Structure formats: structure tokens, C-alpha cells
């Protein structure tokens, strides 16, 4: 089996239980995270009922892939929260699609086409995460100017990253920070509000600065350290920082 969570997560395998979930890992420290890989083609709506999940009305007529993503993510969140003595919890969303976490918990959830990654901590903290499939060189060249400045690209290429790696990483890091601060600011903001300051490839850490436009009023932290893990096929990033 391939490793799902980054090496710095101390993780153990989970019994997938559901036939469309191929592999799952849950961390035992230092962060409270979990990750699973799923096969949407093996999903049936009956599996939601088997796990005790209720599909929200908009999803009952959605395509099978979207239903599979929903059930896999809620299964994974429930498994992680059960480790905190919160069994049988089903994660629902607000009208703006932001998750409704249990009282006292702060979390973040991300997925790509066949993998779910979630991070849940006890508050008050800022929590964000993201997982992305690696962009092709062609797609990275097309999107680069919308995601980062020439100066940010130079900083990353000097550290040995290709255009594909740099563009995917910056997108993921900025998405992670957006997820962390959005619950407080309740304001949409663009990638230009987040500036890369430094990168430490050996530690797997990027330092970014958040503009005053996007900075939560309850936080004086303009600079944030975002953790990341690069593989040949994907990027994972996450942040757990400070007090709300």
C-alpha cells in the first residue's frame, strides 16, 4: 500500500469498512488528520445508509462521483472525531458550503478525484488544509500568472522546484490559508492577498504574508507558516496556527 499521509504524520491504517474505500490512514500525532483513497465506480447509494449517513437533498440526484466524495469524506471525518470521543458524528454544511464542525472543534476538509484529506483540531486555533493533483507543465504555464507573481516563482524555482511543482504548491498553500481564515473574515479574497516570503524545502514549510484586507480582526498574525508535502503526483498542504 502507498503512504497516504505525509511522513511527519504518525499514522496507522484504518479498516475501510466500506467496499468503495480502498485505503485509509489516521494520524496519532502531531496533528489530528486522516486520509483515504476511494473508487467512485464501486459506490452505490445503499452504502450511505449502510454507514448511517443521510444524503442531503441536493445530493440525492447528483452524479455517483459526487455522492461517493460526500460519503467518503463524511466517513473519514466521523472516524477521526470518534478518536475524540465524538462517535457517529455526521458533518453537514451551511448554505455557503462551509462545514459545521462540532462545538470546540475546528477543521478543514479537502479532496481531489479519488482522495480525501481532513484535519481537525481542538479550538481555538486556525486550521486549513488542501490536496491537489500535480498540474502538467502546460497547465501550470497557463495558470501561473493568476496564482503567483514572477517574484514568487523565482523564489520557488531557486529552491529547485519545476514550474509544475511551484504552481501547484502555491495554489495549494494559498487555498489552505484561505480555508483557515475564511470562517473569521467571511470575505472572499484572491491569491494576490497572500504573498510568499520564504520556503524551507527540507522542513517542508512555506512562510506567507496575508494582507490587511484578508487578515482577521481577531488576529495580529500577518505571517503564517504553511506545511507541505510534494510527491510526483500531488501536493498536500496544511496549517494549524495560533489562537483565534
Q: What is the mean pLDDT of the chain?
A: 89
Over residues 198-219, the mean pLDDT reads 82
- Say what the pLDDT of residue 214 is: 60
- Residue range 139-166: average pLDDT? 96
Confidence of residue 104 (pLDDT cuts 50, 70, 90): very high
pLDDT recorded at residue 45:
87
Is the separation of the CB atoms in 214 and 188 below 8 Å?
no
Q: Is the pLDDT of residue 244 over 50?
A: no
DSSP-assigned states of every residue in 28-92: EESS-EEEEEE-GGG--THHHHHTT----GGGTTS-HHHHHHHHHHHHHHHHHHHTTT-TT---E
Q: What is the pLDDT of residues 171-183, one digit of tens each?
A: 999 999 989 888 7
Query: Is the pLDDT assigned to residue 243 strictly greater than 60?
Result: no
For residue 63, report the phi and psi dihedrals to the nearest 5 degrees.
-65, 155
Q: 47-56, 86-95, 110-119 — which is least confidently predicted? A: 47-56
User: What digits encode the pLDDT tens for the residues 124-145?
Assistant: 888 999 999 999 999 999 999 9
Residue 213, pLDDT score: 62
User: Which pLDDT does position 185 carry in this prediction?
Assistant: 74
Amino acid at each position: 500500500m502507498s503512504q497516504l499521509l505525509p511522513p511527519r504524520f504518525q499514522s496507522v491504517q484504518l479498516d475501510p469498512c466500506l467496499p468503495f474505500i480502498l485505503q485509509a490512514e489516521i494520524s496519532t500525532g502531531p496533528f489530528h488528520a486522516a486520509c483515504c483513497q476511494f473508487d467512485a465506480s464501486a459506490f452505490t447509494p445503499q452504502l450511505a445508509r449502510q454507514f448511517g449517513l443521510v444524503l442531503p437533498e441536493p445530493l440525492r440526484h447528483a452524479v455517483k462521483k459526487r455522492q461517493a466524495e460526500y460519503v467518503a469524506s463524511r466517513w473519514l471525518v466521523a472516524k477521526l472525531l470518534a478518536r475524540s470521543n465524538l462517535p457517529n458524528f455526521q458533518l453537514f454544511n451551511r448554505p455557503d458550503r462551509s462545514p459545521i464542525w462540532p462545538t470546540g472543534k475546528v477543521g478543514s476538509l479537502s479532496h481531489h478525484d479519488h482522495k480525501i484529506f481532513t484535519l481537525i483540531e481542538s479550538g481555538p486555533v486556525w486550521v486549513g488544509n488542501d490536496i491537489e493533483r500535480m498540474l502538467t507543465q502546460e497547465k501550470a504555464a497557463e495558470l501561473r500568472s493568476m496564482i503567483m507573481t514572477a517574484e514568487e516563482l523565482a523564489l520557488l524555482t531557486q529552491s529547485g522546484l519545476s514550474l509544475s511543482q511551484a504552481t501547484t504548491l502555491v495554489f495549494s498553500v494559498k487555498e489552505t490559508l484561505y480555508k483557515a481564515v475564511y470562517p473569521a473574515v467571511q470575505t472572499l479574497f484572491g491569491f494576490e492577498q497572500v504573498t510568499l516570503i520564504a520556503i524551507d524545502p527540507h522542513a517542508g514549510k512555506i512562510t506567507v504574508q496575508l494582507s490587511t484586507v484578508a487578515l482577521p480582526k481577531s488576529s495580529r498574525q500577518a505571517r503564517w507558516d504553511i506545511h507541505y508535502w510534494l510527491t510526483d503526483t500531488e501536493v498536500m498542504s496544511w496549517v494549524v496556527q495560533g489562537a483565534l
